[in-house]
Structure 1
Amino acid sequence: MNNLKYLVLSALFVTVGVFAQQDQEKKEPQQGHVNQNKFKQLYDEFSTPNMYRAASGAPGVAYYQQQADYVMDLELDDVNAKLSGFETITYTNNSPDVLKYLWVQLDQNMRARDSQTPLIEGSGVNPAAQISSYANDYMGEGFDGGFNIQEVKGVNGKPLQHMINRTMMRVDMPKPLASGEQFSFSIKWWYNINDHVNGRGRSGYEYFKEDDNRAYVMAQFYPRMAVYNDVEGWQNSQFWGRDEFALPFGNFEVNITVPADHILDGTGKLTNRKEVFSKDMMKRYEKAKKSYNEPVIVVTQDEVIEKIKTKSTKTNTWKLYAGNVRDFGFATSRRYIWDMMAVKIGNKDVMAVSMYGKEGNPLWEDWSTKAVASTLKSYSRMTFDYPYHKAISVHAKQQGMEYPMICWNYGRPDAEGNYSDRTKFGMMSVIIHEVGHNFFPMIVNSDERQWTWMDEGLNTFVQYVAEQDFGKWYPGALSEGQSAYPSRRGPAKNITRYMGGDQDFIAPIMTKGLNTYQFGNNAYGKPGTALNILRETVMGPDLFDYAFREYAQRWMFKHPTPEDFFRTMEDASAFDLDWYWRGWFYTTDYVDIGIKDVKKYYVTTKANKAGGDLAKRYGMDEKDLVYFVEDGSDEYTAGMKSESISDKSTTLKEYLMDNFTATERAKMEEPKFFYSVTFNKPGGLVMPIIVEYTYADGTSKTETYPAQIWRLNDNEVSKAISSAKEIVGITVDPKLETADVDTSNNTWPREVKQGDFDKFKNKVKN
């Protein structure tokens, strides 16, 4: 630091220190307090690292996870909308613990007549109701859903003791299962399939009255093993309908018998394709495997229209095998059009696939499969190469749900095939989101039942990146006048209304999904936006992307916790982010940073009162100091009269430059204007202060003060600004990057509104 700057800063520092000391001496003694600093490390909130989960956020040396393998035979009764199944589960105990019993999830029981799910929601009498809703709610017995468990047996054919507690079933083993051992058992079951359009649900059928057909999207259709892990032992949270699923990985061999005129696709590789495909379908499929730019239609709309005129009484069995997946889903109907194209991921080809009814056209034929392909490329770039051989998008009314390799998505033109931008981009976005779920949580397998944001929030963040990629890679998808994809979630400004809302109806992100207010904002919008801000504004894309990929690759095909994510992001970036996690994820604080005050100063060699007092107190020569006089103060007025202060700044005397050579002096820019800018923080969330300074000549400069500027004062901070040019305008967060909920205090002069600031700058320039 050169001596001139040192003298100036020393004078300011000493002045502030003296005044602070004097103020402190006047205060009454205060009670002590615990560490409430918002930069306090998260040691109290985090679990202690151990052999299972390392302090770095990586799996520990003793990390384990259980495995559940399934062999299933399923039969669809299309006449009665009923699904029957017989499954054999082989459970491998990779934990160091001895297990006395196993827990199986029975998610369909949420729709049983004795389900308690409707009883946990408050309700009242609405002033009006749809006829169908009125009939369902008040006049009928309700849907007769839920699993009918016919038998639970060991491999020796002997019945196993079991107990059903709502959506969970405990299976008692004949003897405890030791570490490293396997246990196999079978379950025979059936249930009535729900109408997912009128009765709601994540899966089921849609009925088409005009041709008396159904389109089935099937999931949560089989009893599924619960997770047992080092964090909480057995997953013991019931399925109430909102929180999704925690599941172990395993291998699936599934045989599905459906009407012979149905087409079917689902999780896993089709192992008997030649048995269920026609010759024309096989030719088109082989062509699709070599088409990388445009989808190839394997089952055409004309073929579907002809097919639905009759119903086959024969059946086909479709055989699928999936290795190392956490779940299984499938779709089947005689109404499905089917198209495919190849997409290059790393050094292999992946099939992007769509299945849709004629109601989806022309929108689905034009854009569904391209959205699938684009999503796989974007997510692979942000995480790891997509490991499976296909990804399927299935058209289903009012749906948006995901399973390994397959998902169902909404978006339907009107009867004439017309659609609005809202319908088009809604369809594209839900496809990107649901296909993206293959990565989170189907592969990076977080506990959705406990931490919904790790599923939905992380995925919403990458969805935003993928949407922007889609707009660049497929500009024809954009509407006239659009230069970028119109993402609904991701940009900081889109979350401000929620974050600045009624605190009585906002919960921290780190809340179990079932217990949150405003589920969409809490689980999707806020965490997705928080990660986008962290990437674009706090860390920068390079550091963030490296750390994010490290997290994804460390935990692919494993079960991470929030702490594993937080720790990995810091470990791989050398960025201390505890303050960020604490504020955004553990609290409901919001961003509101403003400009409290701006004072303008001039420099002079004539001692002012405060400077003179300082010189006397510390035995300094008044000639060794530079003095700052506030614009408009009494001292400023007196100085102007005595001509010791110019209208800008007095030229510094040569004796202040004695420690610099002529060459050094020539390079030095003498500041003519000095300002003290005080920023305050009415909102509780600490964030970097991004400031744009606009000068009288029309130019501007942006400065970012790191979030740590708030570490010693959580209410307000001041910055001394020296400038060769006069500052005529100051704006905090000029590009709306921080989710500031109130921008009315973001500008100086105050009468200049942030939205009009560009006009103001142009006016100044001209």
Structure 2
Amino acid sequence: MRIKHCVIALGFCGLSLSASAGEKFEQLTGVLPSPSEARLASGAPGPAYWQQEANYVIEVELDETEAMILGSETIEYVNHSPHSLSYLWIQLDQNMFSNHSKGTRSDQGPNFSAKSGEPASIRDSSFRTFLYKRDFEGGVRLGKVADKDGTDLPYTIVETNMRIDLPESLASGDSIVLNIDWEYPIVDEANARRTGRMELDGGDYVYQIAQWYPRMCAYYDEVGWQTKPYLASGEFALEFGKFEVSITVPEDFVVAATGELQNPEEVLSKKERKRLEKAMDSQAPVLIVTEEEAAKKLGSPAKGKATWKFAAESVRDFAFAASRGYIWDAKGVEIGEGKALAMSAFPKEAEAVWGRYSTEAVALTLDVYSDLVYEYPYPVAWSTWGPVGGMEYPMISFQSSWEIEEDGTYTEDVRNYVISVIVHEVGHIWFPMIVNSDERQWMWQDEGFNTFVEDIATTQFDERLKDSYRNSVKRVVERMAKKDDPIIMISADSLTSRGYQAYSKPALGLTLLRESILGRDLFDFAFQEYARRWAFKRPTPADFFRTMEDASGVDLDWFWRAWFYTNDHVDLAVESVESFVLDNGDPETSKAWDRKERYEDPDTPMIARLEGQADYASFDEQLQDWYYSYDEFAVTDKEREDYQKSQDDLEDWQKEVRQFEGNIYVAKIKNLGGVPMPVELEVDFEDGSVERIDAPAEIWRHGDEVVRVPFVSEKAVVSVLLDPENAYADADLSNNVFPRKIHEARFKLKSRDKSDNPMQDALSSEKDAEGDDPVSED
């Protein structure tokens, strides 16, 4: 290791520091909305906070023959805002599936352009979706839109929203009752975006039904009516309320839904009810409907109908899944002083993975999220299999897995995906189903938070999922280093890389806060305080940022600014390490240092060749004046006397500091990536000992590109390692060590690729054809 050694001299002048902070540490005061009595500067909801309420009574039939949803609902809308409302906005999400919708017409489809002169290679499933979307006549067909007395109300449909004009304004504190009848065709698997049906091997279907009923748009203080159209990317903004839902299906269907089943005696057999009761106290999943029982129903479908009745309180949405092919299992999970049922519904096609892992993954999620975020408040949590790759609703989630083979085998990727996606989608019951952020505006505020906690949960599942997480972190860090992705703080429908912007980068940011910047105790307290403050309310990004700082007591504006508002990345480097010893002014030692520093660098070749040769002046004494024999590094009597006099004039403390004999080392750290981070150094000494040196992120607060980290030791330093635990998502670890290490890598050999030989193929085919001619016998 070559460390630059220097000598320092003590003087009597003061040290001047810059008074202005660097831009990276400017407060977000001018960026975030101003606090109010509704949303306090602490990040908590204030005394003037309000939110609307929407209660639903719905009757719906799933028409298996026509693949239709037919519904009738009564909505009680309560205006808790301080405003008078002259019209109401209602979401008609199924209009997104119309071939005339903005979502369909703005979809650019697969990229059909040739690449490098070769025809484009497009997944057949993507091409199927492209064709299907243009032919499917989806969308809501409205019947009645009336008040509680049956009087028709005028309405206007704008894409996926409907404005209802009220005969009289709805005053603050008042409520209104709406009655709406509607129907729509169920979309097939080819375009099952968050809802649809999927055909099983025998011709029956699995249905996952969501965004299926006219539901109130959100109205809140920062946005007013949230009427951004549903374009399929940005998800939903909804109001909390109560649901009473009656779902009519063929009588041999199993129905999984938001809420508690109200009429089990009418829709479940005595045997199924006993199994369900047993499951509540079971340590392992109990089959409520077995594979054999599901197979029997598939072989001889029932002709009648049954109505399943569900009730739910303090929920913002309602979804259900249904099929006669469903196998159903369940187990109880202890939550605080109570219990919740973790349940799964899946067909035979998915049993190899889902029967082993699904309900256990739900149970793991309930346990970990209740501990880290907020105690699970609902009685049930479902994982259901179907056409939807992954989607979440209160108490129920939709997932899928197509790559399970007929013989029951599957790849490790499929196994890990199934476990992870179930944890992720069930985890969404917390974000945003309990902590009710506006998904249509800020996708990262639920997806990023949920991915963060999902990572904690899945890494507790087994070692294989730990490896999967390690690889995913590496991919995020590498992507950040490219600096070509847009920032996180962009509206959901405008995200160009939603998996990175809304999921993985925000999740990694929270992980850094928890593990490296705040520490688990401070972070967990603040994160739980955010969930507690905003459970069953609607937080904004500013509420989160402010709560985390308020509850942790740490100013994090530098982190929010760098991670959420820029596309900078983390790359700190050890630029150099210097060693200093004190020059106390004694001419005996000072001049010795001067001589050493003058001649410590090797001479150039020209000077080296002159070494030992007589110079020109040595032959002529006339040229040898006083300076010819002068040694500028020799100590004179006057210098000794001056030094002693200066020592006599010193105060005791000044004499004491001049006796310092250790080494002062200064590591210079350069910020190459742009994101400031704490500086942690591991110093290896010549005697084999190791010491840790650290500086907080505030060391960058003056806007320096390079900062100095000093430390004192009497021992000789061998090497300095920055971020020794790889705790800060540094994109380039090779520049974290000084002196630099030789990078070790490997390479492989390959033979020259053999080109296509159509001539050989043709001649070989002709030869084979000649050999196949029958041999004639004379």
Letter of the aligned partner of 2:195 in structure 1? Answer: S
Written as runs of structure 1 = structure 2, the 5 A alignment for 1:605-684 is: 605-606=584-585, 633-634=597-598, 672-684=662-674
Give distance in 1, aligned partners of 2:567 and 2:594: 39
Could you tell me which residue of structure 1 aligns to residue 112 of structure 2?
Answer: 125
Q: Which of 199, 205, 209 is 1:214 aligned to?
A: 205
User: What CA deviation, in whole Å up to 9, does each residue of 1:688-728 have, x standing for no partner?
Assistant: 11222122233322322101101124301112222232211
* Aligned-pair identity (%): 40
CA shift for structure 1 position 423? 1.1
Could you tell me which residue of structure 1 aligns to residue 61 of structure 2?
Answer: 75
Q: 1:236 aligned to 2:233?
A: no
Written as runs of structure 1 = structure 2, the 5 A alignment for 1:347-386 is: 347-386=337-376
Does the 8 Å CA contact 1:600/1:630 hold for their aligned counterparts?
no
CA shift for structure 1 position 451? 0.6
SS of 1:362's partner is: helix
Written as runs of structure 1 = structure 2, the 5 A alignment for 1:259-338 is: 259-291=250-282, 293-338=283-328
Give distance in 1, aligned partners of 2:185 and 2:728: 49
Give distance in 2, aligned partners of 1:585 and 1:457: 11
Does the 8 Å CA contact 2:263/2:308 hold for their aligned counterparts?
yes
Q: Which of 205, 214, 227 is 2:197 aligned to?
A: 205
User: What CA deviation, in whole Å up to 9, does each residue of 1:159-209 have, x standing for no partner?
Assistant: 11000000010011121000110100111111110113x22311111112x
SS of 1:451's partner is: coil
Could you tell me which residue of structure 2 aligns to residue 182 of structure 1?
Answer: 175
Does the 8 Å CA contact 1:258/1:316 hold for their aligned counterparts?
yes
Q: 1:392 aligned to 2:391?
A: no
Q: 1:656 to 1:509 in 2, by over 3 A?
A: farther
Q: 1:634 to 1:448 in 2, by over 3 A?
A: same
Does the 8 Å CA contact 1:104/1:170 hold for their aligned counterparts?
yes
CA shift for structure 1 position 675? 2.2
Does the 8 Å CA contact 2:112/2:122 hold for their aligned counterparts?
no
Q: 1:656 to 1:755 in 2, by over 3 A?
A: farther
Give distance in 1, aligned partners of 2:337 and 2:149: 46
Could you tell me which residue of structure 2 aligns to residue 759 of structure 1?
Answer: none
Could you tell me which residue of structure 1 aligns to residue 536 of structure 2?
Answer: 557
Could you tell me which residue of structure 2 aligns to residue 715 of structure 1?
Answer: 705
Aligned residues: 691
Q: 1:257 aligned to 2:248?
A: yes
SS of 1:486's partner is: helix
Stretch of structure 1 that moved more, 670-679 or 534-543: 670-679
TM-score by length of 2: 0.83
Does the 8 Å CA contact 1:595/1:678 hold for their aligned counterparts?
yes
TM-score by length of 1: 0.84
Q: Which of 476, 479, 498 is 1:519 aligned to?
A: 498
Give distance in 2, aligned partners of 1:753 and 1:670: 39
Give distance in 1, aligned partners of 2:51 and 2:127: 47
Letter of the aligned partner of 1:499 in structure 2? Answer: M
Give distance in 2, aligned partners of 1:328 and 1:300: 26
Give distance in 2, aligned partners of 1:488 and 1:354: 29
Give distance in 2, aligned partners of 1:657 and 1:287: 87
Q: 1:239 to 1:36 in 2, by over 3 A?
A: farther
Does the 8 Å CA contact 2:391/2:425 hold for their aligned counterparts?
yes
Letter of the aligned partner of 2:34 in structure 1? Answer: T
Give distance in 2, aligned partners of 1:94 and 1:273: 36
Q: 1:139 to 1:391 in 2, by over 3 A?
A: closer
Which has the higher Rg, Structure 1 or Structure 2?
Answer: 2
Could you tell me which residue of structure 2 aligns to residue 87 of structure 1?
Answer: 73
CA shift for structure 1 position 605? 3.8
Does the 8 Å CA contact 2:97/2:133 hold for their aligned counterparts?
no
Written as runs of structure 1 = structure 2, the 5 A alignment for 1:36-55 is: 37-55=23-41
User: What CA deviation, in whole Å up to 9, does each residue of 1:124-148 have, x standing for no partner?
Assistant: 4242445665566459951111111
Does the 8 Å CA contact 1:464/1:489 hold for their aligned counterparts?
no
Give distance in 1, aligned partners of 2:304 and 2:351: 29
Does the 8 Å CA contact 1:392/1:406 hold for their aligned counterparts?
yes
CA shift for structure 1 position 157? 1.1
Give distance in 2, aligned partners of 1:748 and 1:298: 63
Does the 8 Å CA contact 1:746/1:754 hold for their aligned counterparts?
no
Q: 1:627 to 1:688 in 2, by over 3 A?
A: farther
Q: 1:193 aligned to 2:186?
A: yes
User: What CA deviation, in whole Å up to 9, does each residue of 1:455-483 have, x standing for no partner?
Assistant: 10111111111123333xxxxxx45xx8x
Give distance in 1, aligned partners of 2:595 and 2:492: 55
User: What CA deviation, in whole Å up to 9, does each residue of 1:305-357 have, x standing for no partner?
Assistant: 11100211100000000011000010100010000000101000111111111
SS of 1:104's partner is: strand
Q: 1:146 aligned to 2:139?
A: yes
Stretch of structure 1 that moved more, 571-580 or 415-424: 415-424
Give distance in 1, aligned partners of 2:132 and 2:419: 38
Could you tell me which residue of structure 2 aligns to residue 65 of structure 1?
Answer: 51
Q: Which of 549, 560, 563 is 1:570 aligned to?
A: 549
Give distance in 1, aligned partners of 2:581 and 2:594: 7
SS of 2:460's partner is: helix
Q: 1:9 to 1:15 in 2, by over 3 A?
A: farther
Any stretches of 5+ residues in structure 2 without a counterpart? 1-6, 114-119, 603-630, 636-646, 747-778
Does the 8 Å CA contact 1:393/1:407 hold for their aligned counterparts?
yes
Letter of the aligned partner of 1:434 in structure 2? Answer: E
Could you tell me which residue of structure 1 aligns to residue 165 of structure 2?
Answer: 172
User: What CA deviation, in whole Å up to 9, does each residue of 1:741-766 have, x standing for no partner?
Assistant: 2223211112355999xxxxxxxxxx
Give distance in 1, aligned partners of 2:738 and 2:58: 68
Q: 1:270 to 1:673 in 2, by over 3 A?
A: same
Could you tell me which residue of structure 2 aligns to residue 98 of structure 1?
Answer: 84
Q: 1:595 aligned to 2:574?
A: yes
Give distance in 1, aligned partners of 2:133 and 2:220: 42
Q: 1:129 to 1:55 in 2, by over 3 A?
A: closer
Stretch of structure 1 that moved more, 324-333 or 672-681: 672-681
CA shift for structure 1 position 497? 1.4
Does the 8 Å CA contact 1:104/1:226 hold for their aligned counterparts?
yes
SS of 1:381's partner is: helix
Q: 1:534 to 1:36 in 2, by over 3 A?
A: same
User: What CA deviation, in whole Å up to 9, does each residue of 1:34-66 have, x standing for no partner?
Assistant: 976211111101111111111111001011100
Q: Which has the higher contact order (CA 8 A, sep 6+)?
A: 2
Could you tell me which residue of structure 2 aligns to residue 30 of structure 1?
Answer: none
Give distance in 2, aligned partners of 1:217 and 1:628: 85
Give distance in 2, aligned partners of 1:336 and 1:720: 66
CA shift for structure 1 position 418? 1.1
CA shift for structure 1 position 600? 2.6
Letter of the aligned partner of 1:107 in structure 2? Answer: D
Give distance in 1, aligned partners of 2:514 and 2:696: 14
Q: 1:606 to 1:368 in 2, by over 3 A?
A: same
Could you tell me which residue of structure 2 aligns to residue 453 of structure 1?
Answer: 444
Any stretches of 5+ residues in structure 1 without a counterpart? 1-7, 22-32, 472-477, 609-621, 644-653, 757-766
Q: 1:130 to 1:364 in 2, by over 3 A?
A: closer
Could you tell me which residue of structure 1 aligns to residue 454 of structure 2?
Answer: 463
Q: 1:486 to 1:45 in 2, by over 3 A?
A: same
CA shift for structure 1 position 155? 1.2
CA shift for structure 1 position 397? 4.5
Q: 1:487 aligned to 2:487?
A: no
SS of 1:583's partner is: helix
SS of 2:727's partner is: coil
Stretch of structure 1 that moved more, 36-45 or 138-147: 138-147
Letter of the aligned partner of 2:456 in structure 1? Answer: V
Give distance in 1, aligned partners of 2:596 and 2:103: 68
Stretch of structure 1 that moved more, 338-347 or 139-148: 139-148
